[in-house]
Structure formats: structure tokens, C-alpha cells
Copies of this chain bind each other. A is one copy, B any other.
Amino acid sequence: MDHVIVNDVGPRDGLQNDSTLVAPEDRVRLINSLLEAGIKSIEAASFVSPKAVPKMADADQVFAALDQEAADFSALVPNVKGYELAKKAGARSVAVVLSATETMNQKNINMSLDETISVCKDIVGMAKNDGVRPRSYISVAMECPYEGLVEESLIESLSATMFEAGAQEVIIADTIGAANPAQVKSLFNRLVSEFGATKLSGHFHDTRAMALANTWQALECGIRKFDASIAGLGGCPFAPGASGNLATEDLVLMLNDAGFDTGIDLEKLLKSVALTRQLVGHSVGGRSMAYLTRGVVNQ
């Protein structure tokens, strides 16, 4: 059986985009619950200014509470300061975010695309020198909410830039859930042919209900690592009311059903969904929850 790595981004991407502020000790509980279900790759926290992003405050406390041997815990770092804090907190893996378009970078972090590339390269280079594993997101990789469709050649070139800078992994992110499987096929075939499947990962949003179809197509292209968020945590700011991240339980159900080895126990994962609901205090859950909890009372 082919092994597929599921990287749960719920504790960071999910919680950061949820309306509820969850305390660091509860974020650790959530992470431990994911570990219990067999998840071995987790985006644990973001090292950002607590004034700018209160939901990610005390990321150092989160990392201090984690057994770094238990899984591949990644820290999102938006800038050099964040990287220094993550390193100090003991992070062994860091991720930078490079949005593919000029406007997205301007609107999102008030930097030009060139400036963002430069910052991302710097951080990746520092991490490499420090023995910290550097990863790079290429976000809005298929469509940008401001500039529309994104050229494949741009994604290929940005990926090459990050690999050359020392990134060990590039995560191709359909940040706004606008991709369709035909696009995924074309882009991932191109990237896999250029960089190989093992250094690439997919991050799909379920805004248009195509996240699993896109994931399946990426699997067909050879990709064996995917982001997902427990209970589908994290909305889509560009389509209020629409679901955001692909739910981990939906992804694991498909992977396990299709005969991939994930090492993840769906029954235990449902406990993580229940805990997530408890922590955020409102209804969350993947599209397969009605099926997964059939016969279960009070779900």
C-alpha cells in the first residue's frame, strides 16, 4: 500500500481562521488528540505578532508542550522575527508563505511579490543553515481572488526559486478553493515532471466542493502528502458561509477507502472532531460527518 502523509493544519490554519479564540493549552490538547488518531504531521502554530493575530499567541508555549519526537510539527513563520522565535521555541520544521500574485501579497502582507520572495528565500536559507527543515507554501497557486487565473509557468518558477533557496518541500495551495481537477492535473503533472512528486504537497480548500476530486487527481499525479484541517476548521474569507479547508476526516475516509496507508484511525479521528467542536463552541465538521456518525446519538 502506498503511504500518504496527512498534514493537519487545524491547530494553526484552522483555528487562526475560526471566530473563537482557543487557549494555547487547548490547542495542545487538540494536537495531542490528533496524535492519538495517528496523525504524524501537524501545523502546530504560527509565530506572528500576538497583537496582529491574538489567536496564535503563545506559540512558544504550544511548542514547549509538544514531544518533538512524536510527529513532524511545523511552525508557520511570516518573517525573520517569527523564524527566530520558532527556532528558539524548538521548532524543527518551519513553513513560509509565498503568495503567487503581486496583488495578493500587497493586500495580504503589504509587500510586493519580489519583497515576499526575498523574505521567504532569506528565511529558508537561515533555516537550512540552522538545521531546521524549511518548507514553502505557494499560495493562490491556481487562482487569485484579485488577479484571477494564475499562470502555471509562474508557479513552476516560484517553486524552483524556493527549492533553489533550500526548501525541502513546496506546498501548492488552492487558497481560495477555486481549482478544478483539470487544472490540478495540468499543473501537478508539470510540477511533478520538473521537481518530482516526493518534494511536493497539495493544499486544497472545499469552497466549491471539489477538494476531494482535486486531491484524487493530485494523487493520480503521484502526490503523496496533503494538508487538511480537522473538522474542516477555517472558513474561506472570500466566500462567507462556504467551507474552507478540506476536512481531515473527509480526506482520511477517501484515502483509507481507496487503499492508501495513512496510519490514521478514523474512529479516533472522530474524537478529535468532537474535541474541536467543544473548543470552538460551534458546529464544524467535514462533509462526510453524517455518514461517519451514522447511528451515533447526539452528533
Task: Quickly give the copy total for this chain.
Answer: 2
Measured as residues with beta carbon below 8 angstroms from the partner, the interface class of chain A is 20 to 34
Residues of B within 8 A of A257 (CB): 180, 182, 208, 210
Could you say which of B241, B250, B254 contacts A294, with CB atoms under 8 Å apart? B241
Verify A209–B288 contact, CB threshold 8 A: yes
Interface status of A213 (Cβ within 8 A of chain B):
yes
Give A239 to B292 CA distance when docked, in angstroms.
9
Verify A254–B290 contact, CB threshold 8 A: no
Residues of B within 8 A of A253 (CB): 208-210
Residues of B within 8 A of A290 (CB): 239, 241-243
Interface centre among A209, A212, A287, A294 (most CB of B within 10 A): A209
Give A208 to B252 CA distance when docked, in angstroms.
11
Give A216 to B182 CA distance when docked, in angstroms.
9
Interface status of A240 (Cβ within 8 A of chain B):
yes
Interface status of A215 (Cβ within 8 A of chain B):
yes
Residues of B within 8 A of A288 (CB): 207-209, 242
Main secondary structure of the interface of A (DSSP, over half): loop
Give A243 to B208 CA distance when docked, in angstroms.
16
CB nearest to A253 among chain B residues: B208
Interface status of A139 (Cβ within 8 A of chain B):
no
Give A286 to B241 CA distance when docked, in angstroms.
14
Interface status of A125 (Cβ within 8 A of chain B):
no
Interface status of A181 (Cβ within 8 A of chain B):
yes
Residues of B within 8 A of A181 (CB): 216, 254, 258
Interface status of A194 (Cβ within 8 A of chain B):
no
Give A294 to B241 CA distance when docked, in angstroms.
8
For residues 212 through 259 of chain A, which have their beta carbon under 8 Å from a beta carbon of chain B? 212-213, 215-217, 220, 239-243, 250, 253-254, 257-259
A-B contact pairs, 21 of them (CB 8 A): A180-B257, A182-B258, A207-B288, A207-B291, A208-B254, A208-B257, A208-B288, A208-B291, A209-B212, A209-B253, A209-B287, A210-B254, A210-B257, A213-B215, A216-B216, A239-B290, A239-B291, A239-B294, A241-B290, A242-B288, A287-B287
